Amino acid sequence: MIHIVLHFLVPAITAFLFYKKNRLKAWLIMIATMAVDLDHLLANPIYDPNRCSIGFHPLHSYIAVVIYCGLLFIPKLRLVALGLVIHMALDYIDCFV
């Protein structure tokens, strides 16, 4: 449960600290990147509490994470990339907890 809360809270804190003029817009864009979890629907079972998403699901692959990090350098895609990188970091942390 705390994992899901962090997926909303960390982007909110990021938007509050770094996007003062467009906090709500920045937060909503970063939250929209949670759609990356749709790749969980390809797994069997769809939800496994003991499975690490990183490296298992296609949009959570190591190659995808590298691409998401690369997108940080494209200004028009930076918020989307930031949301994806935050999401992947939180999922990665969850692999150890």
Q: Where are the domains of the chain?
A: 2-94
60, 91 in Cβ contact below 8 A?
Answer: yes
Cα-trace Rg, the chain: 13
pLDDT of 75 > 90? The answer is yes
Report pLDDT digits (tens) over 25-68: 999 999 999 999 999 999 999 888 889 999 999 999 999 999 99
Closest among 58, 47, 48, 62 to 92, alpha carbons compared: 62
pLDDT score of 47: 84
Neighbours of 82 (CB within 10 A): 22
pTM: 0.94
For Cα atoms 79, 52, 54, give the angle at the middle one, nearest 5 degrees: 40
Torsion, CA 33, CA 29, CA 72, CA 60, rounded to 10: 0
pLDDT of 97 > 90? The answer is no
**For residues 72-83, average pLDDT:** 98
